[in-house]
Every structure is written in C-alpha cells, then in structure tokens.
Amino acid sequence: MNKTKNNLLTPTRYALSLGAYLLFAIAVIFFAPCLGSESISIKTAINDLIHNDISNDSQILFQQRLPRIILGFLVGASLAVTGSVFQVVLRNPLAAPSTLGITGGATIGAVLAILTPAINLHFWIFSPLQLFSLIGAIFSVFIIYFIARKTLGLSMHTLLLAGVTINILCQAFVILFSYIASPDILLTMNRWMMGGLDIVGYRELAILPPLLLPGLGILFMQTPSLNHMAMGRQLAIGQGVDVHSVQKWTFIGGSLCTAGAICLAGPIAFVGLLAPHAVRKLSGNDHRIILPAAFLAGGAFLVLCDTIARTILRPNEIPVGIITAIFGGTFFIWLLISKKNDN
C-alpha cells in the first residue's frame, strides 16, 4: 500500500473496509458450527431449542461447538489487537503477544499445575491449570515491568529484552520439567503447549470478560496516538503525544488480553503476528482501521483454523496451534518473498 492510499481514510473507505472484514467474520462464524467430526442438523438443533427439547444435535451445537467458536473468536481477536499495538509501540514488526514473556510465564504456571495435581486449588470458576497459568502470566508481567521501569516511564528497549529473556528462561524450565516428568504428564504438558479451544459449555467463558474487556478498552483508547507513534518517538512527542503514558497503558492492556487468552486457550502462536500484517497489507497503516479490522480478522482466523483442526482428520482432532503455525509460517514466507520482489 502506498502512503497516499494509507492517508486517505475517508468515511466511505472506512465503512467499506470494515464492512468487508465484518462480512468475512460473519461468514466464518456462520459456517463453522456446520462442520465437525460428527455431522449434525442445524435445523433440528434450532427446532429443539425453540421447543425446549434435547437431542444429540442440539447438545453438540449449543454445548460444544458454539462455546468453542465464541472462545476462538475472542482469543483470536484479543491476540490480534495486542499484536497490532505492540508492533507500533515496540517499533518491531515481529512483536507479538508472546514477545514480552507473558506466554512463557503462563506456560510455567500451567506446567506446574500439571506436575502437581495434588494441589487442587480452585478459585471462582478457574480450574487449577487455568488459575496457575493466569498467576504465572501476571507474575511475569510484574517482573518485566519492574525490570523495564525507569524514572520517567518504561524503557521499550529493556522491556523487549526482558520479555525475550523471560521467555528463554521459561523455555529452559519447561525443558527441565519435561525431562523429569512421567510419560503421561509429559503428554498432557505437550498437549497444553500446542494450544487448544476444547471447552464444553459456557461456564469457562465467564473468565474472559474481566480480563479482555478492560484490556481491549485500554488498547482501543490508544488509537489516536498510535498513528503518531508509528512515525517515530520524537515526531509523536512533537504532536503532543504522552509517549510514556501510551507505552505504559498498552503494556497493561496487552498483558490483560494475553493473560486472559492464554489461561483458557494455551499459547496459540502466530495469530498476533499474522492478522496485523495481513490487515496492513490489505488496508494500509492507519490504526483507526487496523485495530477494529485486526479484531475481526484475528477472531475469524482462529475460528477458521479451529474448524480445520476439528475436521481435517475426523473423527480425531488436532491442536489448533499446529494449524495457526502452518498458516503463519507460510504467510510470512510469502510476505518476505513479496517484499524482496518489491525491492
């Protein structure tokens, strides 16, 4: 996209662009429940709901597939918006929700919960694994914030290095725990680390709003400042942007979104990288369109990947993280080739 096109975000172009992403998201959400390891009749399931009856079709649709689709959309949307903002604030096109060490902390928490099943610690509707994962994510956020904090705000350079270092340390501990774990526990650990959306019912979805709503709200509130920050720190300051405040609040908002997504779905890779780059490729660099478009595209993308994971080897399922990694790696190879050709 050329700069002229990026700067001409008229109301008509904004509505048409966002409308296209919305139609894509609606299409994916509409067709995803129709597909799965077991064939069902959507018409029968809806009739059962209307007449307050229970059948195999209605149970599969309303207790398994719809909660899974809702979870997939919210997780994908949150990771995509977080990745979009981090890439600007950190001035790194490879920045993603996993960059700042939050994923590593959540993984360590989940692994500890799997290794110590005797500690059957519950809180509200959190299972021990979800609770330990959330605690690990929050703990890593505090460590990284403490390391990167300085007198006038956050050091983005230190923040990035601290996040990468925390991730490396967490990976080292995961390898150590994997080495000493029994085969059945090792299998559970590996399965969680591949990411997944396999929930039953709506109870677990109640975990998301207290984390995702404030996180997404904070990130969307930074939209007016992000276009200035994309042009450079000094230019942003010259335009009256409180850079330190934007950096602090995006870190807090992104941490809330990432922690909420990971504690339920595990460390799903590439969504926070692929969706923002795809949106920028299609719609330019104006963050007034990037953030809502990434929200819709990221959510629809993860639902689509999960639908493939549920159906490609039916009746068996594969972890959705494998599908996102395949799509993400392929996309970035194509992106690098296209940039090389442009040069």
Domain spans in the chain, listed from the N-terminal domain onward? 3-342
Phi-psi region of 198 (alpha: psi -120 to 50; beta: other; left: phi over 0): beta
Q: What is the DSSP string of 278-308?
A: HHHHHH-S-HHHHHHHHHHHHHHHHHHHHHH
Q: What's at 169, amino acid-wise?
A: L
pTM: 0.90
Strands (E) located in 4-89: none
Q: Would you state the pLDDT for residue 198? A: 83
Rounded CA separation 268/327 (Å): 12
Q: What are phi and psi of 54, to 5 degrees?
A: -125, 130
Q: What's at 250, amino acid-wise?
A: T
Q: Would you state the pLDDT for residue 3? A: 42
Question: For residues 263 and 206, is the Cβ–Cβ distance under 8 A?
Answer: no
Residue tagged 């993308």 (tokens): 301
Q: Would you state the pLDDT for residue 342? A: 61
Burial of residue 145 (CB within 10 Å: 0-12, 13-18, 19+) is: middle
Return the structure tokens found at 149: 């904090």
Rounded CA separation 261/267 (Å): 8
Mark out the alpha helices in 116-155 (DSSP H runs).
Answer: 128-148
Domain 3-342 has CATH 1.10.3470.10: yes
Rounded CA separation 190/198 (Å): 15
What is the block-wise mean pLDDT of the chain (343 residues), using blocks of 10 residues?
A: 52 89 95 84 80 79 90 95 92 83 89 80 76 90 85 74 90 90 87 84 86 94 90 82 88 91 88 92 90 96 94 86 88 76 61
CA dist 129 → 60, 64, 247 (Å):
25, 20, 31
Q: H or E segment at 116?
A: none
